[in-house]
Structure 1
């Protein structure tokens, strides 16, 4: 493919080329925020969550509203189109264009005013919905009512652009229905507030004159000309397709704000929004009803709706099966009653008893006895998690099934006709051999969601896609429905509007846009005058990415790195602004930059392999984005598509530095296992050298280590030597275990290994160490030295093979190293039997004791006889690969009242936080939750952290605490230790690692 030169003039259809270089220079002079016309940024913003791809002219990240005004004015001077963007999760292509993209989500996030008495809030467009409701919710439970499944990262501006709905819109109404007024900016520079206008206010506007008066006059004239046709629009709860012209009718208050909601940045730029807030029901109760199939569930919707639920959702057995096979929310899936489809109805009332009574009345009318009722928040949230995971769970069907795509994911019909529509739609899917598509959605409003296995990479497949869309549009038309029920038209449905409304109404849409944007510079090619439905596809019949030979196998991606880079579905779950719900993307949480999200990095890798916007392993944009990836592997678990950015980063680094000099830390920290073995020969001398004022500073400088960091001290008494000279105590009644001697525990924290040995032997295990030197290769993997890592791992498997073949479990103490044995080793070495044995037989300390042997423990007690309290930091790889449930249970059995911190990543992340250029991000990540929580813990609270990085971050951040490992807790419990103030001092047995003990 031809490489795009960012300095070249950008040619737009039907207009003169845009001087991109001159535009960028001028914007940088006028705008305080980020002006990014580099290839990497343009590549990241070339697509949204849709099937479409259009490389933007450039991206502006405005810091203030004045920046927005300056950006639009400058684009007008250069004739450049503009596009507003929030969370970038649009499914119809409305968030990608050959335009200057303004990303409001980083800085324009304020709640400017909040009036709880009037139930109003004025906000900036980049504000995330959940952030708004966190600020307003404590006041009489006032919230902004519509709640899309992306509620924790979608922005208010994006919701206004799409007229978003979500599950609760059945109760609250759409976004448009909850917009009071909007401050908008036209492309020609008119800035004004719009909203409902009385006849008297209209006359006053005309008297003032000017562009504002012209807009109001022309809009009113348009309304009057088309009034009869507008009143004939389909009457649906979810008529999102087209422009919301009914809001202009006299009986609806001539409301220009509501008419502009849903225009997808094609008419105006929204600067501020005054929103209507509604009181959330005091109590909510959820009922799950099983049905034999999804159409039968649809038949029940009119009856359920008569009881006025807050939300009524449907989901079929395919969605549930896909989530089960992807191991998503297994506890929640077990709550579902037996069936082939389900309705989830959420009822609100002043008391749970009132809501439950309404549910029983409804079930009696339905004659339905296969129902489960949940009035506790925990189970309700679990089930809503199942529903909200729909898009991610279905985007790639498990078990080697086809990828699925949006394109007809959002239709809506009258709710009382939903059952029959579902039957006909299933037949349509079957006719095109798209049966793997699951069906779910907002059934109370007649809105159906689905992802369909379109073949978008062959000419025949694209033709079938286009044919299916036409047939699906005809089917929706037969039911008097809307092509979009909340995701908007964009490019996916824009050209179909004539079929839904007729040519006269589409002319009205075109005239409406022209009143605000006569030169078609606002997000052109979307909604009206739309680009072809099968044009500008992200893939397309000419899609031919590079397929490089790789170090990792990518078995779940058919051995293809290009397919792995295509995993990201654009859902944007990686754009959480706060930790607490998983680990994913700690660097995004502190920078709020798209390039530091999993999605942004995946987009760059996709574009790199595509080879048009950016090209090759030496591309600086990709390197810069991956540089702040902490390799936490949070995305491997938290991302619904299981994007494994840590693996992709290691692969990228391996190719980038193949045959080249690497950064110094790749040698000093990447070769830590070798350095540690050398240092163990003279640990005292090594420590003296690395911590001497002058020599230590020189060592850090030569090693590329942050001068503000402490070089870890090597233990004076090595664990292996202690292990060889001690007297074994285990009788082997519970069998033999092979303790994994990871570098960190063996050379830097041997007391932890000693505690593990002591505990295991007291519990009846015979403990062995590998007879030869072994290593998991973690530090080489994380620095992309994959050839070395593969050789190290291959030798390790050879050493362990005899014991693995005897079924001996390998017990890991350091989570990151244990995760390599459980996951990365097989990905690097392939499917050999000994590799698979290593994967199956690798156990965490807690898994061995709880899952495999169900041991009991004498509980720890405090000095006063109470149950000790603990806070624990779960290592990222523990969360992402190993699981932490067994650890929680083991700590409970050890007598601890343990609180697992919702802290996400500690921020150190192995070598990441040890370098100067990463220090600020490293500490900022830790300061989000972990470090303040440790500082706030009282002196009687035990601080737990199994990961060496986590313990190091806690110690170096001057918290005054020395965290302990789970193995030390268990050993202390078995020794009958009573803990008091700073209990880790009583629990740690690090002084025991001495010769002869």
Structure 2
């Protein structure tokens, strides 16, 4: 077939999970390049009687996306927007929602439903689950957007379905064949049970559970397409969809209302709904507290929250900014006993909204509390009964001793989300989980609600459907499935005749032996096995734009090259079933090979999966007592080779750049022949600094990292001038030291530990006196701040080193005068290093640049693609450059001629130089240009008055 067919251990391991509690390993994974190829794949499955199901973003929370048999992943190739006709779009099932909306942006159109996973979920998955999101308050569920579907039955019938008039129905029956058989059976099912269907479906806005048999009612036009929405790949394979589009609200506003508790906030929902908001979301104090800990939105936004312990976030739209703002103000004025906060800055609105979208991630691993799980996370009740339901549900949680559960959700439609500390690791905990969800299901049914208000039934709630609908309707579900799938091969065990809700549980049989590791994994109870199972499947690493992660996925579109895919593969490695090779597994090595170790996932993953650390750990075990790749000896030991090269840097440069010899050097060092090796500076920074007189002021240690010291000493010299000008006495370690970065990134952790212990011992006297260590290379700063304390856990001096490591911007931001120097007028674009982005952020840099009058645009275009040794290694060049072409290189090329390119990372600057004509600079160099601008021979402009500390002229040593 025209596509990729996979049955290797790594791929099967990655697809054995979705975002639920369940695990089932498929037999084969198919990635069709076209819709026709998928038709062929289903034909083959039918020929051999093999189960089949479709998969989009793989973020299902009820187990819909994991099963045995064949899984068809649409998200790599079948992503096309085929046509737009007015406010209708024809689209393939693998199209990511955010990507599709980006293509529609020029028309000011969008898809109505917008789940929290909008940067990952696909249109096919949204149809399969009948997705909603916060925007469903205004635009309805996915079923309300579907006009027509092209579908394929397991036995090979391919057809378009939609609303069916009596004339169309008669025409279909007149044509005979399998299609007529299906339509006749559906009509007979509907007509025979018309009263039952009309009376047993709850009349609420968020009923997602069960099949949409009500869409077959005469008053709904016998709409077959809408009847298939939410069927979770258990009836047909969706090939293409015609969906309704909506105008993008030109302007939006946000008001937040605070109440004494969440249930009281729920009581107010019916009144607020009358104001016709675009979205009406509820959040409790547990979620807000976790948002503070995780720094989801920033303290400035969180501090503006109105008083209370339960909040409603209400979003309005308008044709003008004034209209949107007026609607928000009218609600705030009529809110009565609520405390209010009005957000009129779009950036602050989005930061606040980010808290709600981060709910699933920030509540998964609450500090000092048990891990939480889905399983009962999206029930819905009539909105006018929401407050009472919340009180009863909170009482149920207390009765089962499930404490500290955050409650939030789409309150305008009565949908409540939560994650619960179910103990799914042992049989007693699982039995308690079963008892709880059964009681919870009865509670929801007593309110006339739906077991699922958004995430679907799958395996989590399929077994409970009789409690909600009664056995007669559930029997109709089985009859409906039999019409479409008489051999029960379409995603069996989901919705009807389901697996038990406590069957196929992922964690119940996950008790691998804990290995001895180098890193300590403090966030995972000091257990690598927990770290390997940390991913909860949200799939943010599969986004195609914005942020940093996951650069290799953005190029390959491969699940096993996403952070989630790699995490699942590591978990399966520890389990030892699908992947049996352990640390020696070549499948795991292949999956990790394209990990850039950029650490983007540590900062951006909602649950902070740290794949860079896991990769280093794996490599250390994989190559233990075995020969390593040449690059591990060349670039992994770069600090040593750089020290040797400093004896005769000119000769080394001539050798490495000579046409013939340079090629041999690259070949021997495992470097791609297309990469130009960096040139060593004529004089190292440490050699330049050695004979300088010492200035007076507050003591700091300037860290002479290998990259700055040997390749870009000008940045370090500029940093010395700046620090001295603003009241610091700069010291440099008297002996060569290293943070161990290159050994860590190549998995040579025993050597990294030795290097770090030597470094800490040398710095200890200063660290104990509170002397800060100023770093210029972000990747080295990340090691000192993060990797070192986790690699040498328990050493108090290492802890001090992590706490006292500072960036140059952090050291200067409060000492540089607030008024910009006159006549700066510099515009810059900045590429933050991925490690800085992940560990401490770019806020201090932005504030400092604004203070000195530099207008800076911070790029949000992803990783540069070089990432230390990654982009130099043979076999990685194409991936590295394709990553750069996704964002960084175009942004630099499009910058104005007078725009300065700012990049602190040696890798970032090297990659920019390799693909553009730009000459990027380090922050220290740009600041020196602005703050220490020469006014005449041998002099520099006097900086603003520094804070305490005697200052020597930065040129006095000359």
| TM-score above 0.5, yes or no | yes
Q: Name the counterpart of 2:949.
A: none
Alignment of 1:157 onto 2:128: no
1:218 paired to 2:185: yes
Q: Is the 8 A contact 2:98 2:119 kept in 1?
A: yes
CA offsets, 1:842-879, max 9 Å, x none? Answer: 100000111xx432288577xxx561111111111111
- Residue pairs, 1:800-879, within 5 angstroms: 800-850=763-813, 853-856=814-817, 859=820, 865=823, 867-879=825-837
Distance 1:290 1:855 in 2: 39
Does the 8 Å contact 1:316/1:341 carry over to 2? yes
Aligned-residue CA RMSD (Å) = 1.6
Deviation at 1:546, TM superposition (A): 2.8
CA distance in 1, matches of 2:684, 2:351: 47
Pair 1:494-2:484 in alignment = no
Q: Distance in 2 between matches of 1:707 and 1:562?
A: 39
Q: Secondary structure at the match of 1:869?
A: strand
Query: d(CA) in 1 for partners of 2:818 and 2:110?
Result: 47
Segments of 5+ residues of structure 2 without an aligned counterpart are: 937-953
Whole-angstrom distance in 2 between the partners of 1:359 and 1:445: 19
1:195 aligns with 2:162: yes
Shift in Å, 1:364: 4.8
Distance in 2 between the 1:357 and 1:257 partners?
A: 39
1:303 touches 1:366 (CA, 8 Å); kept in 2? no
Separation of aligned partners in 1, 2:672 and 2:384: 65
Mapping of residues 643-662 of structure 1, within 5 Å: 643-662=609-628
Match of 1:948 in 2: 906
Deviation by residue 1:361-388 (Cα, 9 ceiling, x = unmatched): 4445541351112233212211110100
Aligned to 1:419: 387
**CA 1:430–1:69: 2 relative to 1, 3 Å:** same
- Equivalent-residue separation in structure 2 for 1:519 and 1:710 (angstroms): 60
Deviations 1:486-526 (A, max 9, x none): 10000001011111111111111111111110000000000
2:8 aligns with one of 38, 60, 64:
38
Number of matched residues? 937
The 3-state SS of whatever aligns with 2:624 is coil
Contact 1:426 1:435 in 2 (8 A): no
Q: Alignment partner of 1:449: what SS?
A: strand
Find the counterpart in structure 1 of residue 308 from structure 2.
339
Q: Tell whether 2:642 aligns with 1:684.
A: no
From 944, 954, 969, the equivalent of 2:926 is: 969
Q: Aligned partners of 1:471, 1:144: CA distance in 2, in Å?
A: 36
Q: Give structure 1 stretches of 5+ with no counterpart.
A: 1-30, 980-992
Q: What is the TM-score when the length of structure 1 is the normalising length?
A: 0.92
1:281 and 1:914 mapped to 2: Cα distance? 46
**SS state of the match for residue 112, structure 1?**
strand
Say which is worse superposed, 307-316 or 319-328, in terms of deviation.
319-328
Distance 1:448 1:65 in 2: 36
Deviation at 1:725, TM superposition (A): 2.3
Equivalent residue number for residue 14 of structure 1: none
Tell me, yes or no, if the aligned pair for 2:824 and 2:854 is still in contact at 8 Å.
no
CA contact (8 A) 1:683 1:715 kept: yes
CA-CA distance at 1:219 after TM superposition: 0.7
Equivalent-residue separation in structure 2 for 1:328 and 1:39 (angstroms): 36
Instruction: Give the distance between the partners of 1:445 and 1:567, measured in 2 at CA.
Output: 31
Deviation at 1:675, TM superposition (A): 0.4
C-alpha distance in structure 2 between counterparts of 1:190 and 1:320, whole Å? 50
Residue 283 (structure 2) aligns with = 315
Q: Deviations over 1:117-173 (max 9, x none)?
A: xx110000001112222222332x322111111111110000000001111111111
Task: Specify which of 362, 365, 373 is matched with residue 342 of structure 2.
Answer: 373
Residue 516 of structure 2 corresponds to 549
| Distance in 1 (alpha carbons) for counterparts of 2:911 and 2:252 | 41
Match of 1:929 among 874, 881, 887: 887
* Of 682, 686, 690, the match for 1:724: 690
Shift in Å at residue 281 of structure 1? 3.1
Q: How does 1:659-738 map to 2 (within 5 A)?
A: 659-728=625-694, 730-732=695-697, 735-738=698-701
Choose the corresponding residue for 1:915, options 849, 873, 878: 873
Query: In 2, distance between residues paired with 1:589 and 1:564?
Result: 24
* Map of 1:265 onto structure 2: 233
Secondary structure of the structure 2 residue equivalent to 1:917? coil
> Residue 767 of structure 1 corresponds to which residue in structure 2?
730
- How far, CA to CA, are the matches of 1:271 and 1:389 in structure 2? 31
1:821-840 deviation per Cα after TM superposition (whole angstroms, max 9, x unaligned): 11111101112221111111
Contact 1:815 1:947 in 2 (8 A): yes
- Find the aligned partners of 1:120 and 1:137 in 2 and give their Cα distance: 14
Q: Which residue of 2 aligns with 1:601?
A: 566
The answer (yes or no) to whether the contact 1:894–1:969 under 8 Å persists in 2 is no
1:977–1:217: structure 2 CA closer, same or farther, 3 Å change rule?
farther
Residues 704-760 of structure 1: per-residue CA shift (max 9 Å, x gap): 1111111111111121111112344x332xx01101010001111111111111221
* SS at 1:290 equivalent: strand
Give 1:621's match in structure 2, choosing from 587, 595, 619. 587
Per-residue displacement from partner, 1:323-380 (whole Å, max 9, x unpaired)? 2122222243223112101001112233343444444444455413511122332122
Correspondence 1:62-101 to 2 at 5 A: 62-101=32-71
Q: Which secondary structure does the structure 2 equivalent of 1:448 belong to?
A: strand
SS at match of 1:59: strand
- Quick check: 1:859–1:973 contact (8 Å CA) kept in 2? no
2:140 aligned residue: 173
Cα distance in structure 2, aligned partners of 1:640 and 1:488: 22
1:612-648, Cα deviation, whole Å (9 max, x unpaired): 1102011111111111110010111101101111000
2:714 to 727, 751, 754: 751
Structure 1 contact 411–481 (Cα < 8 Å) conserved: yes
Contact 1:48 1:88 in 2 (8 A): yes
In the other structure, the counterpart of 1:883 is: 841
Distance 1:809 1:276, change over 3 A: same
2:209 is aligned to 241
Distance in 2 between residues matched to 1:662 and 1:745, nearest whole Å: 27
Moved over 6 A (4+): none
Tell me the distance in 2 between the aligned counterparts of 1:752 and 1:453. Answer: 50
Assess if the C-alpha contact under 8 Å between 1:858 and 1:973 holds in 2: no
The answer to whether the 8 A contact 2:259-2:338 is kept is no
1:396 correspondence with 2:365? yes
Q: Tell me how far apart the structure 2 counterparts of residues 736 and 88 of structure 1 sit (CA, whole Å).
A: 53
Determine if contact 1:668/1:704 at 8 Å carries over to the other structure.
yes
Number of the residue aligned with 2:947? none
Contact 2:332 2:342 in 1 (8 A): no
Give the deviation of 1:183 after TM superposition: 0.1
Q: 2:575 aligns with which of 570, 588, 610?
A: 610
SS in structure 2 at match of 1:701:
helix
**Partner SS state of residue 587, structure 1:** helix
Does the residue aligned with 1:52 lie in a helix, a strand or coil?
Answer: coil
- Take 2:4 and 2:192, find their aligned partners in 1: how far apart are those partners? 44
Whole-angstrom distance in 1 between the partners of 2:369 and 2:446: 32
Which residue, 554, 572, 590 being the options, matches 2:555?
590
Shift in CA distance, 569/190, structure 1 to aligned 2, threshold 3 Å: same
Secondary structure at the counterpart of residue 921 of structure 1: helix
For residues 490 and 978 of structure 1, what CA distance do their matches in structure 2 show?
72
TM-score w.r.t. the length of structure 2 is 0.96
Residue 747 (structure 2) aligned to one of 784, 788, 793: 784
Deviates more, 1:97-106 or 1:755-764: 755-764
Distance in 2, matches of 1:584 and 1:172, equals 30
3-state SS, counterpart of residue 733 of structure 2 = coil
Give the aligned partner of residue 72 of structure 2: 102
